[in-house]
Chains A and B, each alone.
Chain A
Amino acid sequence: MAVFTFKGGVHPFDGKDISKTKPIVDFIPKGEMVFPVSQHIGAPAEPVVEVGDRVKAGTLIAKAGGFVSSNIYSSCSGTVKAIEPRQVVMGNMVKSIIIENDGLYEAEEPWDVKPYEELTPEEIKELVLRAGVVGMGGATFPTHVKLAPKDPDKIDYIIVNGAECEPYLTSDYRRLMERPEKVILGLKIVLRIFPNAKGVIAVEDNKKDAIAKLRELVKNEPRISVCQLKTKYPQGSERHLIYAVTKRQINSSLLPADAGCIVDNVDTIYSIQRAVVDGKPLMHRIVTVTGDAIKDPRNFRVPIGTNMMDLVEAAGGFVQEPEKIIVGGPMMGNPVYHLNLPIMKGTSAITCFKTDEVAKAKKHETHCISCGKCIDVCPSRLIPTKLADCSATRDLETFNKFNGVECVECGSCSFICPAKRNLAQSIKTMRKEALAARRK
Chain B
Amino acid sequence: MEEKKLLNISSNPHVRSNSTTQKIMLEVIIALMPATIFGIIKFGWYALVLVLVTIIAAVLTEFIYEKCMKKPVTIGDLSAVLTGLLLGINLPPTFPIWMAILGAIFAILVVKMLFGGLGQNFMNPALAARCFLVISFAGKMTTFVYDGVVSATPLAALKAGESVDVLKMFLGQSGGTIGETCTLALLVGGIYLIIRKIIDFRIPLFYILTVAVFVCIYSLAARGGFDGQFILAHLCGGGLALGAFFMATDYVTSPITHTGRIIYAVFIGCLTCVFRLFGPSAEGVSYAIIIGNILVPLIEKITVPKFFGKGAQAK
A→B interface (CB under 8 Å): 6, 10, 12-13, 154, 167, 239-240, 243, 248-252, 254, 258-260, 322-326, 330-338, 351, 353, 356-361, 364, 366-373, 375, 379-383, 385-386, 402-403, 406, 411-412, 414-420, 422, 424-425, 428
Contacts and interface: CB of A to CB of B under 8 A. Distances in A.
Given A250-B309, A251-B308, A254-B312, A424 B11 contact: yes
A353 B7 CA distance: 11
B69 to A, nearest CB: 15
B304 A333 contact: no
Interface in B29-72: none
Contact of A359 (B10, B13, B257): B10
B193 to A, nearest CB: 12
16 contacts: A10-B17, A243-B308, A254-B312, A324-B9, A324-B14, A330-B12, A330-B14, A335-B9, A358-B10, A366-B77, A369-B118, A381-B305, A383-B305, A385-B256, A414-B16, A417-B16
Given A324-B7, A370-B119, A415 B15 contact: yes
Contact of A372 (B6, B74, B200): B200
Contacts of B120: 367
Contacts, number: 187
Given A249-B310, A335-B7, 19 more contacts: A12-B15, A239-B308, A249-B308, A258-B312, A323-B7, A336-B7, A357-B14, A369-B118, A370-B119, A370-B256, A372-B257, A381-B306, A406-B307, A411-B13, A416-B19, A418-B17, A419-B119, A422-B11, A428-B11
B7 A325 contact: yes
Contacts of B22: 364
B306 A357 contact: no
A424 B315 contact: no
B204 to A, nearest CB: 15
A369 B198 CA distance: 12
Contacts of A12: 13, 15, 17
Contacts of A249: 308-310, 312
A380 to B, nearest CB: 5
B315 A259 contact: yes
Contacts of B251: 369-372
Contacts of B9: 324, 335-337
A143 to B, nearest CB: 21
Contacts of A381: 305-308
B7 A383 contact: no
Contact of B309 (A254, A323, A418): A254
Contacts of B16: 357-358, 360-361, 414-415, 417, 420
Contacts of B24: 369, 371, 418
Contacts of A418: 17, 19-21, 23-24
B118 A338 contact: no
Contacts of A336: 7, 9
A251 B10 contact: no
Nearest to A251: B309
B308 A332 contact: no
B252 A369 contact: yes
A360 B8 CA distance: 12
Contacts of A243: 308
Given A366-B119, A367-B120, A370-B119, A425 B11 contact: yes
Interface residues of B, number: 45
Contacts of A334: 12
**Which of B14, B119, B313 has the most chain A CB atoms inside 10 A of its CB?**
B14
B11 to A, nearest CB: 4
Contacts of B308: 6, 239-240, 243, 249, 251, 379-381, 406
Interface string B227-258: 00000000000000000000000011010111
A252 B311 CA distance: 11
B13 A415 contact: yes
B12 A424 contact: yes
Nearest to A261: B315
A326 B22 CA distance: 29
A364 B12 contact: no
Given A250-B312, A335-B14, A418-B20, A370 B257 contact: no
A419 B12 contact: no
Nearest to B117: A367
**Which of B15, B200, B314 has the most chain A CB atoms inside 10 A of its CB?**
B15
Given A331-B12, A366-B21, A419-B21, A337 B119 contact: no
Interface string B197-227: 0001000000000000000000000000000
**Which of A326, A371, A381 has the most chain B CB atoms inside 10 A of its CB?**
A371
Interface string B67-101: 00000001001010000000000000000000000
A4 to B, nearest CB: 15
Given A250-B312, A258-B314, A420 B10 contact: no
B196 interface: no
Nearest to B6: A337
A400 to B, nearest CB: 12
Contacts of B20: 364, 418-420
A364 B17 contact: no
Contacts of A239: 308-309
A333 B14 contact: yes
A353 B14 contact: yes
- A-B complex: 8 closest residue pairs judged by Cβ atoms: A251-B309, A367-B119, A411-B13, A425-B11, A258-B314, A335-B9, A249-B309, A337-B6
Nearest to A353: B14
A428 to B, nearest CB: 7
Nearest to A418: B19
B13 A331 contact: yes
A383 B304 contact: yes
Nearest to B306: A381
B255 to A, nearest CB: 8
B312 A251 contact: yes
A361 B24 CA distance: 15
Contacts of A425: 11-12
